[in-house]
Structure 1
Amino acid sequence: MPSTVQEAKRYLDNAKEILREKAKKEDGYYQDKKYVKLAGHAAYTGVLVALDALFENKTKGRKDVDWYKERLAKMDKKVLNAFNGAYDTLHLAMGYDGNPVSEVSKIGLEVAESIINWVETRTADA
């Protein structure tokens, strides 16, 4: 289980590195949407990898976002809110739209990190 959380953290680290090294931040805005999109996808994937470990999901392939929401709603409403924020920020605003506002990316990555850390504490207790 810890190796899966480590993998999730690696995705998050990759997202941070992409923004830092490639997206060209100037005056609070990233200049290259392509890298904002890549970073958003990487960070969101990290969240999903962590949640898959928590839910012990053995099936590969795509799960609907509602699949995650339903399970989180039964476990922790606060984390469900964080997940909704991660979905909106990382997946939609960054991943699809390439939102150039660096504060959006910063907050999205913080939310992703909080979810991954929450999963880590939950799986450590198991």
Structure 2
Amino acid sequence: MPNTVQEAKRYLDNAKEILREKAKKEDGLYQDPKYVKLAGHAAYTGVLVALDGLFEEKGKGRKDVGWYKDNLSKLDKKALASFVAAYSTLHLAMSYDGNTDANVSMAGIKMAESIINWVETRTAVA
């Protein structure tokens, strides 16, 4: 299972690199929404990879956000709230909308880190 956490962290590192190297931050705004979208998608994918590892999801099929919410609601309400916030920020605001506000992206990255670290501590105990 640690390999899924490592893989999740790799996605997160890629998201940070995309923002740092390609999105061109100027006066608190990223200049290219295309790279904000890519970074949001990478970070959100990292969250999903970590959660798939936690739930020991073997299938490669596509799961909707409700599947993750249902599983988290049975496990930890606080983690569920974090996931809902991360979904809204990473998937909707960044990936879909390309929100160029650097504060939004940084908040999303922090949420992703928090969830991945939470998964890491849960899997270390298990």
Alignment of structure 1 residues 70-89 onto 2, 5 Å: 70-89=70-89
Gaps of at least 5 residues in structure 2 are: none
Alignment of structure 1 residues 22-61 onto 2, 5 Å: 22-61=22-61
Deviations 1:49-93 (A, max 9, x none): 000000000010210100000010111111101000110000000
- TM-score normalized by structure 1? 0.99
| Distance in 2 of aligned mates of 1:36 and 1:64 | 22
The aligned length equals 126
* CA-CA distance at 1:36 after TM superposition: 0.1
Gaps of at least 5 residues in structure 1 are: none
Q: Secondary structure at the match of 1:100?
A: coil
Aligned alpha-carbon RMSD (Å) = 0.4
What is the aligned partner in structure 1 of residue 62 from structure 2?
62
- TM-score normalized by structure 2? 0.99
Moved segments of 4+, more than 6 Å: none
The reply to whether residue 101 of structure 1 matches residue 107 of structure 2 is no
